[in-house]
Amino acid sequence: MKEFRFTNEHSSTDVANIVDVLRQPRLWIPTEKDYPNYTNWLDKTEDRIVSGDKRAMAAYMGKKAVGTVIYQRDPTQPTSLEIRNISVSPDARGRYIGGFLLRNAEIEAAQNDFLGVEQYVIDTKVDNGEMIAFLQTHGYSIQAIADLYGLGTGPDAVMSKPVIRM
């Protein structure tokens, strides 16, 4: 039986392993044609996690990174936490890793690390029904449909959920 570990503290080697999860086949991600600048985004994301501008909540199965949620304070709306990516390796499917990572990123945002955050925001392609259903299961609702990136790749569903502090 494999041991699981979840953390948001990473060495630079850990960050490289997390980004490798994002480079490989993973659940809930449409085709590369839907995100034509994805490789460039990954390169920037690795640097931004190391610098602390973005955060990564990661899941490890043994020593292998198998899932991550990438998030940051929205630079244009400081009261929003942007969930930038949710990915889980297919070999970790069915273990509720995505939901656990998402909930822990939300908890972190609701506590001291992101003071002033009032909502969580994420977008996904409208035709990514699995991701929309996953997010709805976790309390998110569609707020808008728009072509957010202007790349001609089809409409995006902008989903959000209010922060509930305990």
Range with the poorest average pLDDT among 18-27, 59-68, 86-95: 18-27
CATH placement of domain 4-162: 3.40.630.30
Distance CA 44, CA 29 (A): 19
Q: Which residues fall within 8 angstroms of residue 17, CB to CB, at 6 or more apart?
A: 64, 65
Band (132; pLDDT cuts 50, 70, 90)? very high
28: pLDDT strictly greater than 70: no
Band (111; pLDDT cuts 50, 70, 90)? confident
Mean pLDDT (the chain, rounded)? 89
31: pLDDT strictly greater than 70: no
**What is the predicted pLDDT for the residue at 32?**
62
Range 101-110 average pLDDT: 90
**What is the predicted pLDDT for the residue at 166?**
67
Residue ranges per structural domain of the chain = 4-162
**What is the predicted pLDDT for the residue at 142?**
98
Q: Structure pTM?
A: 0.90
**What is the predicted pLDDT for the residue at 27?**
63
Burial of 161 (0-12, 13-18, 19+ CB in 10 A): buried
Higher pLDDT: 38 or 14? It is 14
Range 8-23 average pLDDT: 89
Higher pLDDT: 108 or 45? It is 45
Band (58; pLDDT cuts 50, 70, 90)? very high
